Structure 1
Amino acid sequence: MTGAGTPGGDGAAREVARRMAEAASAWLDGLDPAQRRVAAGAVPADDGSDAERRRWFYTPTDHGGLTFHEQRPAQQRAAMRLVASGLSTPAYVTVATIIGLENVLDQVEGFVTRFDRERGRDPGLYYLRVFGEPGGSDPWAWRFGGHHVSLSNLVVDGAVVATTPCFLGADPATSPLLGGGVNRPLARVEDAARDLVRSLRPELASRAVLLPRAPSDLVTANRTTLAEGQRVIPLAGIWRDERFPDPVEQEKLQGLSDRIDEAAGYGDTDHAAVEYTTAPKGVAAAELDAEQRELLRVLLGTYLDRVPPEVSPARRYDDEAALDAVHVAWAGSTAPGDPHYYRLQGPRLLVEWDNTQRGANHAHSVWRDPGADFGLDVLARHRTALHRGA
């Protein structure tokens, strides 16, 4: 079983796949031939032919696919219909808000050009691509991404079987609204974790908090696969191309990347303390009291409820033994407004959050399924079954 469901064995996952296929086909059918060449990708597989589908980013780089800028309004509407088919209603609202924050960030930075392009913070630079033929007999998938959004969905044998990696971020993480209101799209994703860690008795807190300082970013970053000992990748390394053609823009990016790393102040020992390991770090939920366990379920829901309920693995954690195996780890201060990082990890689960940059007003969050991201486990079984039937 993947993070979404079992191919051929879940009617609900089939219904979500049907809605996705209908929306994907409608979007592709509304494109002209030139647009479709950009929008279409190779059939998903578990070999090198599928490498592009497994590339993902959360920086404002080229995510691969057709951008909103390259589409007419009716095509954009069809694109958002496909995006919505892979999200719960709260997640869709959150994604739409994150995209809109590009306009806010543009103002924060003074409406300047950045990143070697006409508009550095641009709500039109979100990319959609469909891999394979929607609704066909072969596996197919779709990917949507841009600054602080990355969604990946795979359909095999007519059912949604993978929905990870799933990334949402926010910059600014907190911004003002009229009447003293505050816009915090990922508020519960941050606050529930802090409340949980602050509620721990001292002995548990000493094991849950790995370091008093937070790393500069997600430890596993945008890697396609997870492996023992992975550490933070500097910002300048999380882009589609290694360097900007314009050396001035490249120097600006490298300088920003260096300042972020310097602010974290991490040495080798620090990196080792928070590096990714297959054995979870921190405190197991088996050691939490009943109230803390319910708070952990709420926190898990801010990740697992991003997808439609029919394909969410959230119900897995209704089982006490499954919840017992989830570990909670934190780095940084637990005071609101201070830079911090946390990780939830267990079988078939990795969650990471950081809010460290821009004075701890720039948040990243990702939900992953180690060993099964992008549905590689299901694709391998599918290929084996085809060969046996040949």
Structure 2
Amino acid sequence: MSTRETAAAMAGAARAWLDALDTGQRDRATGTAPTGDDTLDAERRRWFYTPTDHGGLTFHEQLPPQQRKAMELLAAGLSPAGYVTVATVMGLENVLDRTEGFTTLFDRTRGRDPQMYYLRVFGTPGDTGTWAWRFGGHHVSVNMLVADGEVVACTPCFLGADPATSELLGGAALRPLGPVEDLARDLVRSLPGELRERAVLLDKAPPDLLTANRTDPADGDDWIPLAGIWRDRFAAESEQTALQRASDGIEERASFTAAERERVRLRREPKGVPAAELDAEGRELLRALVRTYLCRVPDALSPITRYDDPAALDAVHLAWAGSLVDGAPSYYRLQGPRLLLEWDNTQRDANHAHSVWRDPSADFGLDVLGAHRSAHHLA
């Protein structure tokens, strides 16, 4: 399928879903058409990866036939592998619920809930003008923008997994993001001494993504403490206190000095080692790693073929923080023109993973919409 065919499939699925909703549901399921106006477009550009209110209509608020149509729209924007991974991540809420003792959390009657995923359509789906859709919930955020019948943006695209590794029958393990972690560790391990020293920024990993859920990744970004990555405060003060306690605990365990934070801080000038200095085997590992992010979407939308050009791959830098021992806390990023990929697996004794694909110059299609870009933004 071409990008126009993919956009048409999205539009058809979005219209079918909206047509199946009643008036009250549609009010929660729709938002303002995408614009270049920072105020009018602010809600579309808000995204999260915590189990907070992502904005839109939840699966709890839909009948099964409506839920099916919602999933059809999600499938239209993902590759088969991407769709299976998202569906698996959603299902992990049941596993996490058991791990935490089936408790109520977050002002909800069920804290870990595979039905607390939100879908919202912005504008009118069609082949003219601009419209967008956003699907999100705990450890999932998919953001699409369509302009005049073409999909022009599909980032940020976030996938996480908690637990990152789960036991299956027969001694097997469920690791939805396993290759996203393993390929990077194998690549860094394969580097000769001097290159490895430059690639490894620090021997311990930051506790979260450096860009967090910011709308615009910027020079100097540092992670945001967990308590700051939620839409609103909880109504129950006890829940807010528990979240703050958990957030403080993560920061205390990380125990980063100012110098260590500066060492890993995101900068406009990429840190680490460029692919131009890797050997043939290293370049293939790097290309395979990039594929685990960029092939989350249909082939027509993925920029993966850009990295068939040796010059484009040369400009991608790899930076790692943490141990290179299997199962140890880890963080890495791949950074280059129009590319920022981040990974961390540090929480729950390194069994809680985050990964995000971003295009700092075009997330949310802001370049297409003509939004003002400040000089300090990454490009």
1:212-262 residue CA offsets vs partner (Å, 9 max, x unmatched) = 010010011000011111111000000001x21211111100010011111
Q: Which residue of 1 aligns with 2:73?
A: 82
Tell me the amino acid that sits aligned with residue 356 of structure 1.
T
Identity of aligned residues (%): 68
Please, which of 275, 285, 307 is the counterpart of residue 297 of structure 2? Answer: 307
Q: Which residue of 1 aligns with 2:264?
A: 274
**Aligned alpha-carbon RMSD (Å):** 0.9
1:279-311 residue CA offsets vs partner (Å, 9 max, x unmatched) = 101000000000010000100000000000011
Q: CA deviation at 1:136?
A: 4.8
Residues 1:51 and 2:42 are matched in the alignment? yes
Please, which of 302, 309, 331 is the counterpart of residue 321 of structure 2? Answer: 331
Residues 1:235 and 2:226 are matched in the alignment? yes
Q: Which residue of 2 aligns with 1:171?
A: 162
Q: CA deviation at 1:44?
A: 0.2
Tell me the amino acid that sits aligned with residue 98 of structure 1.
V
Q: Which residue of 2 aligns with 1:345?
A: 335
Q: Is the 8 A contact 1:285 1:328 kept in 2?
A: yes
Give the Cα separation in 1 of the matches to 2:317 and 2:12: 39
Within a 5 Å distance, the mapping from 1:288-299 to structure 2 comes to: 288-299=278-289
Q: Is the 8 A contact 1:57 1:222 kept in 2?
A: yes
Give the Cα separation in 2 of the matches to 1:228 and 1:190: 25
Give the Cα separation in 2 of the matches to 1:176 and 1:51: 41
Q: Which residue of 1 aligns with 2:124?
A: 133
Q: Is the 8 A contact 2:158 2:356 kept in 1?
A: yes
Q: Which residue of 2 aligns with 1:15?
A: 5
Residues 1:155 and 2:149 are matched in the alignment? no
Give the Cα separation in 2 of the matches to 1:16 and 1:270: 44
Tell me the amino acid that sits aligned with residue 259 of structure 1.
G
Q: Secondary structure at the match of 2:135?
A: strand
Structure 1 segments of 4 or more deviating over 6 A? none
Please, which of 249, 254, 272 is the counterpart of residue 244 of structure 2? Answer: 254
Q: Which residue of 1 aligns with 2:183?
A: 192
Q: Secondary structure at the match of 1:232?
A: coil
Q: Secondary structure at the match of 2:369?
A: helix
Give the Cα separation in 1 of the matches to 2:218 and 2:165: 33
Give the Cα separation in 2 of the matches to 1:32 and 1:298: 44
Within a 5 Å distance, the mapping from 1:360-371 to structure 2 comes to: 360-371=350-361
Residues 1:372 and 2:374 are matched in the alignment? no
Q: Secondary structure at the match of 1:164?
A: coil
Q: Secondary structure at the match of 1:55?
A: coil
Give the Cα separation in 2 of the matches to 1:194 and 1:12: 34
Tell me the amino acid that sits aligned with residue 340 of structure 2.
L
Q: Which residue of 1 aligns with 2:115?
A: 124
Q: Is the 8 A contact 1:236 1:257 kept in 2?
A: yes
1:333-362 residue CA offsets vs partner (Å, 9 max, x unmatched) = 010111010000000000000000000000
Q: Structure 1 unaligned segments of length 5 or more: list them.
A: 1-10, 382-390
Give the Cα separation in 2 of the matches to 1:218 and 1:203: 26
Q: Is the 8 A contact 2:15 2:125 kept in 1?
A: yes
Q: CA deviation at 1:163?
A: 0.3
Q: Structure 2 unaligned segments of length 5 or more: list them.
A: 372-379
Q: Which residue of 2 aligns with 1:287?
A: 277
Q: Secondary structure at the match of 2:95?
A: helix
Q: Which residue of 1 aligns with 2:194?
A: 203
Q: CA deviation at 1:187?
A: 0.6
Residues 1:92 and 2:68 are matched in the alignment? no
Specify which structure has the higher proportion of helix. Answer: 1
1:103-125 residue CA offsets vs partner (Å, 9 max, x unmatched) = 00000001111112111100010
1:81-108 residue CA offsets vs partner (Å, 9 max, x unmatched) = 0000000000100000000000000000
Q: Is the 8 A contact 1:24 1:130 kept in 2?
A: yes
Moved more, 223-232 or 73-82: 223-232
Give the Cα separation in 2 of the matches to 1:278 and 1:367: 17
Q: CA deviation at 1:137?
A: 2.0
Q: CA deviation at 1:46?
A: 1.3
Tell me the amino acid that sits aligned with residue 168 of structure 1.
L
Moved more, 11-20 or 363-372: 11-20
Q: Is the 8 A contact 2:8 2:127 kept in 1?
A: no
Q: Is the 8 A contact 1:156 1:379 kept in 2?
A: no
TM-score by length of 1: 0.94
